Structure 1
């Protein structure tokens, strides 16, 4: 049996003694009275008088900059005043090792192949964009294009070979290389118009001029030129009139009513007596401008008549010895709309009956629509194959009901534009294409 070890605390070598000492320690610990905690007492707060502010100026501490110890290859700077932190690293470029020759060739081929694929893709996208976008762009530019103004000399009459379009009768005849006109009945006015069928709706602007020479008459009798003659037996028109004693007037005539837009006034540009005077009227839109011997004498605006024919005018006095006037060198220059070159009528029961009772092989079966009654030679209608008796059904896909729709459809097109016409011919539909041209002077 081994000897018990000594106690490391008291050096005893017997565990019994150790136990006795432990009991003694417990008795001593329990015999000490426990201390009581003192009671807390409430003390009212004490208020101290605040001290006056110090007059001393204290300086703000300068900003403190601390440098952090360098860490390997980096430096860090912290600034307390700016509260900013920046870190800078110093790096060295890595060494580039040269590839073997075969690797460089492979990389070169791959790079070129990528460029080739990218280029082909761009070309493909460009072609696709052109195919998709180009029609829209063409249509857009076409709509932006302003149709060119085309001027045509519609009439140039010097009466060396008089035209059959003038009315010759009791008060008018061709004489001395001109159109001689004299009214013998008292208090009468007589106008002579060029055939209205030859100045249709497709005139934008008309520049009409003529030479007038008085042969004999009292000085206060009026004579002159007329423009935009239309309707009611040609009783609606605009006028520019002069007298041989130096007066002129401009205005509008409606049925039997004279409406002077510019009342009679004297002008020194008029050659008095039997002198020759060149009168000119320019109509564009609602503006009517008058000229006498190259001088503008006045203008006015009116929306009553938008188109019409041209003519000449003279009147008689109370005694019936009307002014005798010779009209010569009549000229009309027109800025024109597109021209198809037809004459047409709305189909009515009266027109249908008249056509069917006439001695020809053509019989009209339609009760309504627009029928072509004449086609001018060398016109777009003649070149396209349209025929007299064709009935308009559609123009560019639009159904046609009356002559106004045909006029507006052609008028809204451009010179040189191709239009698609669908007509009814012998009770069958025919499709025709016509290219519109500027106004053409029809032959006699």
Structure 2
């Protein structure tokens, strides 16, 4: 076995491998000195069994080295040769050997198979959970959509609710022309207001002058008893202006057509129509027309059917009137009856 000599203090160490440092001066520089007893030591080691050869070899080396290395007396500073502690001459291979250990489990984990909320579910379990969720939610979706649709329709219909128009302001059977500003060619007789428009492409309106309405529900029966089917006639609301040129209107003709819109000094602005509607009775039949002004919502009703609506903020208030217009055909003669105006 080789003998290592410290180059700094001269201590000799017998080991099978180079020592890490000198136990006396902690130097790491050594030179090798070979002696004859290494052969006998190797032959003795060869007699041992393979399983214990390494252990006996290290034990013999440590024992022989401990006997030969000198010790330093701390009081006198002189070196002596008692045996060294085996821990000081542990080979670096053993001293710095890395050890492997089992990884520790997290504090919340358990080596058992018990359920933990931190354990990840397998793709298969997630898929089964998704299927169960779909089976549960799919039948509910149509119900939710149906309820939402019904509620949305109900909410939309509430804007046309006129149940709060309860105060009757005008209920006219036309026994006289009191409170009416009649247009040229108009006359009240036999419980009706007859209105004749003799000039082609001209219109006239007879206005109830007693009250200005903000929100109003105004209706009357109208019948054309003479004239062509292209003549227009109907009712107006929120009539205002110096010449009563501003108003909202609902008009029909003798061909089952209607129009809903507004008129200003700049002209006609139809919002809905002209267009055909089966609710209108053609020719010389009686039709009930109704126009409602509710905030900025304007809508028309013919014979109980709502035919159109629009929103406009041009006119905030005004009077109500009955209206007739002549086209290029013969003079239109229309009579109005059962006028009714209500407000909130």
Shorter-chain TM-score: what band? Answer: 0.5 to 0.7
**2:180 alignment partner, SS class:** coil
**2:255 alignment partner, SS class:** coil
Distance 1:268 1:171, change over 3 A: same
Hey, what does 2:197 align to over in structure 1?
183
Paired with 1:323 and 1:206, the residues of 2 have a C-alpha distance of 28
Hey, what does 2:76 align to over in structure 1?
39
How big is the shift at 1:289? 1.0
CA displacement 1:127-182 (0-9 Å, x = unmatched): xxxxxxxxxxxxxxxxxxxxx9573101111113x252111363211022111100
Distance 1:42 1:291, change over 3 A: farther
Distance 1:255 1:41, change over 3 A: farther
Hey, what does 1:281 align to over in structure 2?
291
- Assess if the C-alpha contact under 8 Å between 1:232 and 1:255 holds in 2: no
Among 194, 215, 232, the residue aligned to 2:242? 232
- Assess if the C-alpha contact under 8 Å between 1:280 and 1:291 holds in 2: yes
The answer for unaligned runs of 5 or more in structure 1 is 1-36, 55-147, 336-444
Hey, what does 2:260 align to over in structure 1?
250
**2:188 alignment partner, SS class:** strand
Hey, what does 2:319 align to over in structure 1?
309
Hey, what does 1:265 align to over in structure 2?
275
Paired with 1:47 and 1:179, the residues of 2 have a C-alpha distance of 132
Highest relative contact order (Cα 8 Å, sep 6+), 1 or 2? 2
CA displacement 1:76-124 (0-9 Å, x = unmatched): xxxxxxxxxxxxxxxxxxxxxxxxxxxxxxxxxxxxxxxxxxxxxxxxx
Distance 1:219 1:153, change over 3 A: same
- Assess if the C-alpha contact under 8 Å between 1:180 and 1:327 holds in 2: yes
Q: Report how many aligned residue pairs link the two structures.
A: 201
Hey, what does 2:90 align to over in structure 1?
48
- Assess if the C-alpha contact under 8 Å between 2:300 and 2:308 holds in 1: yes
Distance 1:251 1:169, change over 3 A: closer
**RMSD, aligned α-carbons:** 2.9
Hey, what does 2:188 align to over in structure 1?
174
Q: TM-score, normalised by structure 1?
A: 0.42
Hey, what does 1:199 align to over in structure 2?
212
Paired with 2:173 and 2:79, the residues of 1 have a C-alpha distance of 135
Hey, what does 2:340 align to over in structure 1?
331
CA displacement 1:165-200 (0-9 Å, x = unmatched): 1113632110221111001122211111111x5124
Paired with 1:256 and 1:225, the residues of 2 have a C-alpha distance of 20
**2:181 alignment partner, SS class:** coil
Hey, what does 1:151 align to over in structure 2?
166
Q: Tell me if 1:210 matches 2:246.
A: no
Q: TM-score, normalised by structure 2?
A: 0.53
How big is the shift at 1:46? 3.4
